[in-house]
Amino acid sequence: MDDTLVDGPQAIRVTAFALGYVPAGATMEIDDNETATLLIEAPAFVTESDGWLPLRAKVRLSVPPDRDITVYLRSEDATEVIVPATVVITAGQTSAPFSLQVLDEREVDGTQEAVISASVPGWGAAARRIDVEDNEPVKLFIGVEEENGLNGKSPKRKGWSRS
Protein backbone atom coordinates (compact mmCIF):
# COMPACT_ATOMS: atom_id res chain seq x y z
CA MET A 1 0.00 0.00 0.00
CA ASP A 2 1.92 3.04 -1.23
CA ASP A 3 0.52 6.24 0.11
CA THR A 4 2.17 9.58 0.60
CA LEU A 5 1.75 9.52 4.33
CA VAL A 6 4.62 9.22 6.71
CA ASP A 7 2.88 6.62 8.72
CA GLY A 8 5.45 4.03 9.64
CA PRO A 9 4.84 0.33 9.65
CA GLN A 10 1.15 -0.38 9.74
CA ALA A 11 -0.68 -3.38 10.91
CA ILE A 12 -3.15 -4.24 8.20
CA ARG A 13 -6.02 -6.43 9.14
CA VAL A 14 -6.79 -8.82 6.36
CA THR A 15 -10.11 -10.48 6.71
CA ALA A 16 -11.24 -13.25 4.44
CA PHE A 17 -14.87 -14.11 4.07
CA ALA A 18 -16.00 -17.20 2.36
CA LEU A 19 -19.36 -18.86 2.24
CA GLY A 20 -19.65 -21.44 4.93
CA TYR A 21 -16.43 -20.43 6.68
CA VAL A 22 -16.02 -18.34 9.76
CA PRO A 23 -14.21 -15.07 9.05
CA ALA A 24 -10.48 -15.52 9.42
CA GLY A 25 -8.11 -12.69 10.18
CA ALA A 26 -4.41 -12.24 9.81
CA THR A 27 -2.22 -9.34 10.73
CA MET A 28 0.76 -8.40 8.66
CA GLU A 29 3.11 -5.55 8.85
CA ILE A 30 3.71 -3.33 5.86
CA ASP A 31 6.68 -1.09 6.17
CA ASP A 32 6.28 2.51 5.21
CA ASN A 33 8.33 3.78 2.29
CA GLU A 34 8.05 7.43 3.22
CA THR A 35 10.97 7.34 5.53
CA ALA A 36 12.05 9.83 8.09
CA THR A 37 15.36 10.09 9.85
CA LEU A 38 15.45 9.25 13.51
CA LEU A 39 17.80 10.94 15.95
CA ILE A 40 18.44 10.75 19.67
CA GLU A 41 19.29 13.80 21.74
CA ALA A 42 20.77 13.15 25.15
CA PRO A 43 23.37 14.66 27.46
CA ALA A 44 26.90 13.67 26.42
CA PHE A 45 28.03 13.36 30.04
CA VAL A 46 26.18 12.26 33.13
CA THR A 47 27.42 11.08 36.50
CA GLU A 48 26.25 8.22 38.65
CA SER A 49 24.97 10.77 41.17
CA ASP A 50 22.51 12.15 38.62
CA GLY A 51 20.12 9.27 39.16
CA TRP A 52 16.73 9.97 37.65
CA LEU A 53 16.86 12.53 34.84
CA PRO A 54 13.23 13.27 33.95
CA LEU A 55 12.67 13.97 30.25
CA ARG A 56 16.31 14.83 29.67
CA ALA A 57 16.57 12.93 26.41
CA LYS A 58 14.59 13.10 23.19
CA VAL A 59 13.88 11.16 20.06
CA ARG A 60 13.54 13.36 17.02
CA LEU A 61 12.17 12.77 13.53
CA SER A 62 13.21 14.71 10.44
CA VAL A 63 9.58 15.11 9.36
CA PRO A 64 6.40 15.08 11.44
CA PRO A 65 4.60 11.77 11.15
CA ASP A 66 0.99 11.52 10.01
CA ARG A 67 0.13 9.18 12.81
CA ASP A 68 1.56 8.31 16.20
CA ILE A 69 4.88 6.52 15.87
CA THR A 70 6.12 4.14 18.53
CA VAL A 71 9.89 4.30 18.90
CA TYR A 72 11.61 1.38 20.61
CA LEU A 73 14.40 2.35 22.98
CA ARG A 74 17.23 0.24 24.26
CA SER A 75 20.21 0.74 26.52
CA GLU A 76 23.19 -1.29 25.40
CA ASP A 77 24.53 -1.24 28.95
CA ALA A 78 21.65 -1.53 31.39
CA THR A 79 24.12 -1.55 34.30
CA GLU A 80 24.84 2.14 33.64
CA VAL A 81 21.76 3.75 32.11
CA ILE A 82 18.15 2.62 31.85
CA VAL A 83 15.67 3.97 29.31
CA PRO A 84 11.96 3.28 28.85
CA ALA A 85 11.14 0.49 26.39
CA THR A 86 9.17 2.76 24.09
CA VAL A 87 8.32 6.39 23.51
CA VAL A 88 5.59 7.69 21.21
CA ILE A 89 6.05 10.57 18.81
CA THR A 90 2.53 11.82 18.30
CA ALA A 91 1.15 12.75 14.88
CA GLY A 92 2.31 16.18 13.76
CA GLN A 93 5.14 16.35 16.28
CA THR A 94 8.81 15.90 15.44
CA SER A 95 10.07 14.86 18.84
CA ALA A 96 9.18 13.18 22.08
CA PRO A 97 11.05 13.42 25.37
CA PHE A 98 11.97 10.49 27.56
CA SER A 99 13.64 10.04 30.91
CA LEU A 100 16.99 8.54 31.76
CA GLN A 101 17.85 6.61 34.87
CA VAL A 102 21.55 6.68 35.63
CA LEU A 103 22.51 3.82 37.89
CA ASP A 104 24.74 4.41 40.88
CA GLU A 105 26.75 1.31 41.65
CA ARG A 106 29.48 1.02 44.25
CA GLU A 107 32.11 -0.23 41.90
CA VAL A 108 35.05 2.01 41.04
CA ASP A 109 34.56 1.74 37.31
CA GLY A 110 35.75 5.06 35.94
CA THR A 111 33.86 6.62 33.06
CA GLN A 112 31.80 4.10 31.13
CA GLU A 113 30.46 4.61 27.63
CA ALA A 114 26.78 3.79 27.59
CA VAL A 115 25.08 3.62 24.21
CA ILE A 116 21.35 4.05 23.89
CA SER A 117 19.56 3.23 20.68
CA ALA A 118 16.18 4.02 19.21
CA SER A 119 14.46 2.20 16.40
CA VAL A 120 11.25 2.13 14.42
CA PRO A 121 10.80 -1.18 12.60
CA GLY A 122 11.32 -0.57 8.88
CA TRP A 123 13.02 2.75 9.45
CA GLY A 124 16.30 1.67 10.91
CA ALA A 125 17.83 2.90 14.08
CA ALA A 126 19.72 5.70 15.74
CA ALA A 127 22.28 5.51 18.50
CA ARG A 128 23.77 7.93 20.94
CA ARG A 129 26.69 7.61 23.34
CA ILE A 130 26.47 8.87 26.89
CA ASP A 131 29.58 8.91 29.06
CA VAL A 132 28.69 7.90 32.60
CA GLU A 133 31.19 9.21 35.10
CA ASP A 134 31.96 7.32 38.24
CA ASN A 135 31.13 8.87 41.59
CA GLU A 136 33.01 6.54 43.90
CA PRO A 137 35.40 8.52 46.07
CA VAL A 138 38.92 7.34 45.38
CA LYS A 139 40.86 7.65 48.59
CA LEU A 140 44.57 7.86 48.31
CA PHE A 141 46.46 7.10 51.43
CA ILE A 142 49.81 5.89 52.57
CA GLY A 143 49.39 2.81 54.63
CA VAL A 144 52.09 1.48 56.93
CA GLU A 145 51.45 -2.03 58.10
CA GLU A 146 52.68 -2.79 61.52
CA GLU A 147 54.62 -5.86 62.20
CA ASN A 148 52.19 -8.35 63.53
CA GLY A 149 54.68 -10.74 65.00
CA LEU A 150 53.95 -13.58 62.59
CA ASN A 151 57.41 -15.05 62.32
CA GLY A 152 58.49 -11.50 62.91
CA LYS A 153 58.71 -11.21 59.16
CA SER A 154 55.77 -9.11 58.03
CA PRO A 155 57.41 -6.33 56.11
CA LYS A 156 56.53 -2.76 56.56
CA ARG A 157 54.81 -1.62 53.45
CA LYS A 158 54.08 1.68 51.90
CA GLY A 159 51.62 1.85 49.13
CA TRP A 160 48.91 3.62 47.27
CA SER A 161 45.51 2.21 47.59
CA ARG A 162 42.06 2.89 46.27
CA SER A 163 38.93 2.10 48.15
Which residues make up the interface to Ca ion (CB under 5 A)?
Answer: 48, 104-105, 107, 109, 112, 134-136
Backbone angles phi, psi at 50, to 5 degrees: -65, -35
Amino acid at 41: E
Quick one: DSSP state of residue 43?
-
Nearer to Ca ion, 39 or 103 (CB): 103
46 or 89: CB nearest Ca ion: 46
Shortest CB 106 distance to Ca ion, Å: 6
Q: Tell the smallest beta-carbon distance from residue 83 to Ca ion (Å).
A: 16
DSSP label of 3: -
Min separation Cβ 109 and Ca ion, Å: 4
When the beta carbons of 44 and 144 are compared against Ca ion, the nearer one is 44
Task: Look at the alpha carbons of 155, 156, 159, 161 in this order and tell me if their dihedral is positive or negative.
Answer: positive
Nearer to Ca ion, 51 or 124 (CB): 51
What is the rounded distance in angstroms from the CA atom of residue 126 to the CA atom of residue 56? Answer: 17
Closest separation in Å from C-beta 76 to Ca ion:
14
Angle, alpha carbons 51-57-123 (nearest 5°): 135
Q: 12 phi and psi, to 5 degrees?
A: -105, 125
